[in-house]
Amino acid sequence: MDFGGVAGPLIGLVLLCIGFALASEYFLSVRNALNILDQVTVLGILAIGMTMVIVIGGIDLSVGSVLALSMMMMGWLAKTAGLPLPVAMILGVATGAACGLVSGLLVTLARLPPFIATLAVMSVTRGLANILTDGRQIVGYPDWFTNLATIRHLGFFSVTVTVFVVLMVIAGVFLRYRATGRNLFAIGGNPEVARLAGIDVRRYTILTYVAAGALAGVAAVTMAARLNSSQPSAGLGIELDTIAAVVIGGASLAGGVGSVAGTLIGVLIIGVLRNGLNLVGVSPFFQMVVIGSVIALAVAFDTLGRHRK
């Protein structure tokens, strides 16, 4: 495999793991590794969509709120409207996709800067997520549903983690080995060049936001299973974590650069940091200081390294 783009963050991740392994005897174990995977599932699924959005030169601030709306929609459809849960799950994902469609249309047709388009969608969807149940959470999903997140089959992966891994692989292959995926990089590099090269920039842009929305919907189902409830406050502020993960993974906010492998490393860096700091028992305030510093260090390391080349 080509480590070109991800060598920097990978080294960072390894250093981090070594540090925590030395600082806490509990860090280095299969079980903790599985815990970390568990804990990053939602962030990771969101980060897949964010990677694509960032590759085309956009940004999506709405992922957290869209997650909340999808989650509430699923819960509401299952509990209040009385649909079978699997149907509600699918409609939850569809809700996310619909939100993505709105963002995509705002960016392409209304020509809003992605930052503003998704900021608006963020506010609206958070409002809707709350309106649905007047701010109440929805609880009491069947056991089979929560088991998706909690039972580790064959002692390893839960269904949600498996979904996360599979989505990562699909997205990785898509961005690297499908013409459509490669076209996203061209769009991010220079939309006019891409258009002249015969790429339907608008369509791809819209579809990318739709995909990011749908993935937020999948993340919502995952989180509902993990928490055994739907909460209108879910995913508050997670957009910044998601963007940080993608950028730590080597993507450029200017567009045209990024990879799913890098994003996975970025997600793991954040996941390992949180988990490790909890294991070491660092207070939440000090955690913020450490996390901020590590993010700066990881990206500085990467950009300075790239610049020296």
Partner 1 sequence: QEAKTIGLAVANLQADFFNQIKQSVEKEAQAKGIEVITVDAGGDSATQVSQIQDLITRDVDAIIYIPAGATAASVPVQAAKAANIPVVAVDRNPPDAPADTFIATDSVAAAEELGNFVCKTTGGKGRLAEIQGQIGTTPQIDRDEGFAKAMANCPGIEEVAKQASNQWAQDEGFNIAQAMIQRDPEITIFWGQADALALGAAQAAKVGNLTDVVVVGFDGDVAGLEAVQSGTLTATMTQQTQLMGRLALDSAIKLASGESVPAMQLQPATLTTKENVEPFLTEHP
Partner 2 sequence: MPAEALAASPAAQTAREGLSIRGVSKAYGPITVLDGIDLDIRPGECLAFLGENGAGKSTLSSIIAGVVPPSGGTMRWNGGAYAPRSPAEALSAGIGLIHQEMRLLPELSIAENVFVGRMPMRGGRVDRAEMNRRAEVQLRRLGLSVPATTRVGTLKVAAQQQVEIAKALTLDARLIIFDEPTAALGGEETDRLFEQIHRLKAEGVSSVYISHRLEEIARIADRIAVLRDGRLVAVHDTADVPVRRLVEEMVGRSVDRLFPELAAPQAREVLAVSNLTSAQGAFRDISFSVRAGEILGIAGIVGAGRTELVRAIAGADPLSGGEIRLDGKPLRLTRPRDALDAGIVLVPEDRKAQGLLLEQTIEENVAVGNFDLMDKSGWVWPGRTRELAKKAIASMGVKGRPEQLAGRLSGGNQQKVVIAKWLARSPKLFIMDEPTRGVDVGARAQIYEAIVALAKAGMAVVVVSSDLEEVIGLSHRVMVLSRGQNRGILDRGEATHVAIMERATT
| Interface with partner 1 (CB under 8 A) | 24, 26, 29, 31-32, 35, 38-39, 42, 130, 133-137, 139-140, 146, 150, 152, 223, 226-229, 231-238, 274-275, 278-279, 281, 283-285, 287
Rounded to an integer, what distance in angstroms lies between the CA atom of residue 275 and that of residue 5? 26
185 part of the interface to partner 2, by CB under 8 A: yes
User: Residue 138, SS3?
Assistant: strand
Q: Is 131 in the site for a copy of itself (CB under 8 A)?
A: yes
Of 28 and 193, CB closest to partner 2? 193
Q: Which value, in Å, is the radius of gyration of the alpha carbons in the chain?
A: 19
Say which residue the tokens 């925590």 belong to. Answer: 20
Q: Per rule CB under 8 A, is residue 193 in the interface with partner 2?
A: yes
Q: Under the criterion CB under 8 A, does residue 193 sit at the interface with a copy of itself?
A: no
Nearer of residues 19 and 181 to partner 2, judged by Cβ:
181
Neighbours of 272 (CB within 10 A): 22
- Name which of 186 and 226 has its Cβ closer to partner 1: 226
Residue with tokens 């956009």: 58
* Residues 100 and 216 sit within 8 Å (Cβ to Cβ): yes
Interior/surface letters 14-34, b for 16+ CB within 10 angstroms, e for the rest? eebbeebeeebeebeeeebeb
300 binds a copy of itself (CB under 8 A): yes
Binding status of residue 173 toward a copy of itself by CB under 8 A = no
Contact call for residue 192 and a copy of itself (CB under 8 A) = no
- 52 within 8 A of 187, measured Cβ to Cβ: no
Query: Using CA atoms, how far apart are residues 221 and 145, in angstroms rounded to an integer?
Result: 9
Question: Among residues 12 and 161, whose Cβ is nearest to a copy of itself?
Answer: 12
**CA separation (Å) from 40 to 171, 220, 227?**
17, 13, 14
Where along the sequence are the contacts to a copy of itself (CB under 8 A)?
A: 61, 106, 110-113, 115-117, 119-128, 130-131, 134-135, 237, 240, 243-244, 247-248, 252-254, 284-293, 295-296, 299-300, 303-304, 307
Q: Which residues bind partner 2 (CB under 8 A)?
A: 176-183, 185-186, 189-190, 192-200, 252, 254, 256-257, 309
